[in-house]
Structure 1
Amino acid sequence: MTGNAITTMPRPCRCLNGVWAFAILTLVCFCLTTAATSAKPSLTPLSLTETPHLPHVNPKFRHPADLHQLFFLQRTINANTVVYTAHFDAAGNLDTETPVAVYWRRFQDQGQVMPLRWYERAFGFGVRLRTTDTPNALRLTFNGLKSHPLELRQTAPFTAAFFARINNRDYRLIYAYLDVDESGLFPKVTRLRLYTNDPLTGLYVTHTIAVSGGAYTE
């Protein structure tokens, strides 16, 4: 796919060769508050589960329901949540300047919005988008994992979604949840759960992935 770059550093896709890329992306996002990693994590798929309703993995943590929400990320360490939303123009089309916004929802406090810190935006959660040959679709890459694009698709006026290709199927991304072990000197990611929707069946699909070597130094 080719096109002109759309810079969306302060704000938030069928092109993904497996769940690995998204898992690595999520782990990169987790370590944004650290300066370096001690080792690259090893990822092992454990299961794929289909359910008629979207699971709420941690009922103690609120799920965001922001206007034009695309995706969110939560972790066991606290309720603070990273949220991605779409920006539209007055006609309901994705905004050409800043189609995606990303920010914190501080659910550990009062749920207020907090902008990303510069390093969170520059090295992990921030995104870049490029136009494609497909109408109403943009190629999206996260700054923390530029080699594995997703696709941002506009599906109707004022409606858009992130899509990933996993095991030769297109899934709509909803949220990710990281299990973090804080018992050692440094926090360690032990498991990733990626919650998606299968547009062909309407079912919600949970991809569970074990993580080893996911320790990060500050």
Structure 2
Amino acid sequence: MNVLLKYVLGIIVVVPFLFSFKGFDNKNLKSGEMVVTGNLSDPDTFPVPTSADVKGLLFYIQRDPNSNTIVYQLNVDENGKLIDKQPVHSFWIRYPEGGIRRDLNYLQRKFAYGINSKATGNGNYELRSVAYSKLPLYLRKDVKNQYHVYADINSKKCVLNRVFIRIDGGSFWSPNVLYIELKGIEITTGKTIVQRIKPT
């Protein structure tokens, strides 16, 4: 199979999957609002990457149907200096395969799980997901000079920890995305805050 054919097949597989993420609004799901069917996984039972496992860990994404995890970490050079043009590095931890790590491929970076960044001055950055650019994220240092990714979760200023994408059925090319769940720690109280963003 030549390179062009592989590329075209990759687009056929990936693009319909991505479209299912683009039409989200910022409404919270309420109990009983949606009937969930099938044998869905419990994200709270998934392995959790930690700062001990991943140096410079910022946040991670998990989704059905397995515990393969996309991890986002600070992108630094060999001297520990943040790389300004691309401050966030993303990769897979494939827990079902023993926790091996793999870089995202081109299509995954450009259309699914990549992050676009824009420097805003004083070592701060605005981040946008390539698949869901409506939600701004902010990379900046805290009072201890440590970088975190910040987001508004349920209208509260939070450090973002996890994103979970709930998929219930559909096809490989067009999965039925029920919601995206954001989880973080509120800056002022230290409480865990969760919000579900649903398709419209």
Query: Does residue 96 of structure 1 match 2:96?
Result: no
Q: Which string of whole-angstrom CA distances, capped at 9 and with x for unpartnered residues, describes residues 129-181 of structure 1?
A: 22214x23112222234454321012244x21111134553211100112211
Query: Does residue 161 of structure 1 match 2:161?
Result: no
The offset of 1:195, in angstroms, is 0.6
Separation in structure 1 between the aligned mates of residue 44 and residue 136 of structure 2, nearest angstrom: 31
Q: Which 4+ stretches in 1 moved above 4 angstroms?
A: 38-43, 89-93, 183-186
Per the normalisation by structure 1, the TM-score is 0.66
1:33–1:204: structure 2 CA closer, same or farther, 3 Å change rule?
A: farther
How many residue pairs end up in the alignment?
A: 171
Instruction: State the SS of the aligned residue for 1:63.
Output: coil
* 1:62 alignment partner, one of 44, 47, 62: 47
Separation in structure 1 between the aligned mates of residue 133 and residue 165 of structure 2, nearest angstrom: 21
Q: Aligned-pair RMSD on alpha carbons?
A: 3.0
Q: Which string of whole-angstrom CA distances, capped at 9 and with x for unpartnered residues, describes residues 74-133 of structure 1?
A: 112001001000134577653324321001111121111111111111113222222214
1:207–1:105: structure 2 CA closer, same or farther, 3 Å change rule?
A: same
Separation in structure 2 between the aligned mates of residue 38 and residue 58 of structure 1, nearest angstrom: 20
Higher strand proportion (structure 1 or 2): 1
Determine which structure has greater relative contact order: mean sequence separation of CA pairs < 8 Å that are 6+ residues apart, divided by chain length.
Answer: 1
Q: Which runs of 5+ in 2 are unaligned?
A: 1-11, 31-41
Aligned match of 2:110: 122
1:192–1:145: structure 2 CA closer, same or farther, 3 Å change rule?
A: closer
* 1:71 alignment partner, one of 41, 55, 59: 59
Per the normalisation by structure 2, the TM-score is 0.71
1:34–1:138: structure 2 CA closer, same or farther, 3 Å change rule?
A: same
The offset of 1:38, in angstroms, is 6.8
* 2:96 alignment partner, one of 96, 108, 133: 108
Aligned match of 2:14: 34
Aligned match of 1:171: 158
* 2:180 alignment partner, one of 182, 192, 203: 192
Separation in structure 1 between the aligned mates of residue 110 and residue 192 of structure 2, nearest angstrom: 32
The offset of 1:188, in angstroms, is 0.8
Q: Which runs of 5+ in 1 are unaligned?
A: 1-31, 48-56, 213-218
Rg comparison, structure with higher value: 2
Amino acid of the residue matched to residue 105 of structure 2?
Answer: R
Q: Which moved more, 1:59-68 or 1:171-180?
A: 59-68
* 1:137 alignment partner, one of 124, 139, 144: 124
Separation in structure 2 between the aligned mates of residue 196 and residue 81 of structure 1, nearest angstrom: 17
The question of whether the paired residues in 2 share the 8 Å contact of 1:127 and 1:140 is answered with yes
Q: Which string of whole-angstrom CA distances, capped at 9 and with x for unpartnered residues, describes residues 176-209 of structure 1?
A: 1122112667421113321111010110111134
Instruction: State the SS of the aligned residue for 2:111.
Output: helix
Higher helix proportion (structure 1 or 2): 2
Instruction: State the SS of the aligned residue for 2:96.
Output: coil
